[in-house]
Amino acid sequence: MRVAALESDLIVFVSDVWQTTCTALRSGDEGFVIDSPVYPEELRALPDVLAQAGFPVSGLLATHGDWDHLLGRLAFPGAALGCAESTAQRLASEPGAPQRELRAFDADHYVERAAPLALGTLQPVPVPGKLELGPSHELELYESDGHTVDGTAYWIPWLSILVCGDYLSPVEIPMLSPGGSIDAYRATLERLREPVRSASWVVPGHGAPMNPGRALEVLDEDASYLEQLAVAPDAATPPRSRASAAQTRIHQANVALVEAG
């Protein structure tokens, strides 16, 4: 796991698998952990690193309901997990799905964990909206569906940092999941364009943090790819900057999902 302190009050952890990111943010005596790393040793290290850095953990936040972003409670079992109302509804409609998907991942990769995942009682927050942190700061919450049926991007205005979940990834092309859609994905990209332009850093759900120039390049590449996918799925070409066998498989799954209607 890689660790980067982008600001004195913000640390980003990048998991060794899928480069899944986890962002720790503090303001005064309060702090949030957004999303999670994946491997057990990464989750075990998280509390110690944050304690040594003087980061309190008042609660956990998730950008969306995919299982690899929900593992914070394995590191902080006593912390409440906050998420968009759309994410809470998704998880309520798919009881046990994150746990089953985590068990399948662990079985495929011979991973052993000390305890099963328990999400506890979710704390839904309205999106779009604002979320207080500390005595004088508020996070701004942007709706970010399209990759999945749910989603939240977190804009941290006093640091000019955008934590956007599974969008704008420098290592992964746009991925359409059941419940997601091209139209919603494209709308999310345009919704995020202004905060990206104003950002000092953009933290994607997968991949290292980026400066706004690179993030805008990714945004435009993704918008172009999705337009191709909508008009002529069979002729669509994934962004060249993210060409790999894994991304080809994601592209093929996207085409199949679009053609299935």
CATH number for 116: 3.60.15.10
**Which residues, 6+ apart, have CB-to-CB distance to 136 below 8 Å?**
27
Chain centroid offset of residue 96 CA: 20
pTM: predicted TM-score of the whole model, two decimal places: 0.96
The whole-number pLDDT of residue 217 equals: 97
Expressed as residue numbers, the domain containing 182 is: 2-259
The whole-number pLDDT of residue 95 equals: 94
For residue 20, pLDDT over 80 is answered with yes
Which amino acid is located at 223 in the chain?
Answer: A
The whole-number pLDDT of residue 178 equals: 87
Question: Mind listing the pLDDT tens digit for each residue in 207-220?
Answer: 999 999 999 999 99
For residue 113, pLDDT over 90 is answered with yes
The whole-number pLDDT of residue 107 equals: 98
Q: CA 132, CA 139: separation in Å to the nearest integer?
A: 6
Q: State the total domains in the chain.
A: 1
